[in-house]
Copies of this chain bind each other. A is one copy, B any other.
Amino acid sequence: MPVKLRKPRARLKDLARLVSVSPATISNAYHHPERLSATLRAKILESADKLGYHPDPTARGLRMQTTGTLGVVYADALSWAFIDPPFSMFLQGVAEATQDAHFRLLLAGATYTDHDVEPVRNAAVDGFVFYAPMMHDPRVAYVEQRELAAVLVDGEPGSAFPLVGIEDESGAFALADHLFRLGHRKLGIISMPLRPGYPIGFAEPDEGLAAFLAVRDRLAGYAAAARKHRLPWQEVASLYVTSVNSIEQGRQAAHAILSGPSAPTALVCLSDQLALGALAAARELRVPVPQALSIVGYDDIPEAARTTPSLTTVHQPHAEKGRAAARLLLDQLAGRKSTSLLLPTRLVVRGSSAAPMNAARTGRKSMSGRSSRG
């Protein structure tokens, strides 16, 4: 039984009475300084301070039909969001842009059970940034139906909303191309879930199954690189799907693949988090990286440059995505036109990728001398 017996907060009316002016004058003191004398304004503000008064944001929001708050919607439960380095960097960009515009930031995620719209419905915000929404995300559909403002980041085209995306497929292409050039012919792919609730374990390396654009594009990029090298993708790649995009899941997946029959010479992880886990697994199994096994990631999170060996990966401008998404949303809210944006990716070759031990067979000149059998 919650009991509220706290002394009620001071209201505009109380302050008006105290200073013996009308409510309108109080409001003007805050928002239209030029409409009253400086001395009166000073007196009002001072009394407000004494009373502990400040205009109620909710009432103000109702009256002004604006909240000054942007909602950022994470595709998964919010508690996962903060151990997802790319999302953190993305938020950093969003925070920069919103702060510059004096907007506040509200975070929403999915519930544990489903992609319920509830967190989005009841959020008092002026618009939403959807981070990596899956196909047909009901929350996006809801916002669209209500004709609220929104921006989709790494989301599907087809909605009314502007998009911020990255050249995911070409980044993945460059990465796989790099491996094929080195002579790799057997790839173990480690992916985050293709869609919510997708079962852990081996699956067909078919991007058509993926409900997340990033997953689909990356798988498509790898496959395209295989085509370029005239390699049969289904034979070249074996795909292992994890339940979460985490280091631990990457570790387990790598163990599963490396103890399996396919004996890949390279592990291609759809995120650096997964790659970090794969690196740990290789260490545990005493498989030297990159001599006996190449491991590559995606995202270029800061830690990718710090691990031993450092991680070959695809760079994408996380913070820039955040800034762009927030700006696009702010533009919409201000009635300015906002158009979709595609940001570049870039292959970053570091220490975790090299020619496989039997690269001599490929006939190409290997760029790496390290072909000794360990």
A residues contacting B by CB (< 8 A) are: 1-4, 6-7, 9, 52, 54, 56-62, 67-69, 77-79, 81-83, 88-89, 91-93, 95-96, 98-99, 102, 104-109, 111-112, 118-119, 121-124, 145-147, 247, 276, 280, 302-303, 306-308, 333-336
Contact = CB atoms under 8 A, between A and B. Distances in A.
A123 to B, nearest CB: 6
A92 B99 contact: no
Contacts of A4: 335
A106 B104 contact: yes
Nearest to A81: B95
A9 to B, nearest CB: 7
A253 to B, nearest CB: 17
A57 B54 CA distance: 21
Contact of A335 (B3, B81, B95, B102): B3
B79 A92 contact: yes
Contacts of A58: 58, 61-62, 67, 124
Contacts of A302: 247
A93 B91 CA distance: 18
A334 B104 contact: no
17 contacts: A2-B334, A2-B336, A7-B147, A9-B146, A52-B145, A52-B146, A57-B124, A58-B124, A61-B124, A62-B62, A67-B124, A78-B105, A82-B92, A82-B95, A83-B92, A107-B107, A280-B306
Contacts of A112: 99
Given A62-B59, A92-B83, A122-B57, A276 B306 contact: yes
Contact of A9 (B92, B147, B307): B147
A335 B2 contact: yes
Given A62-B62, A99-B111, 14 more contacts: A1-B335, A9-B146, A54-B121, A57-B121, A57-B123, A58-B67, A59-B62, A77-B95, A79-B95, A82-B88, A82-B91, A83-B89, A247-B302, A303-B303
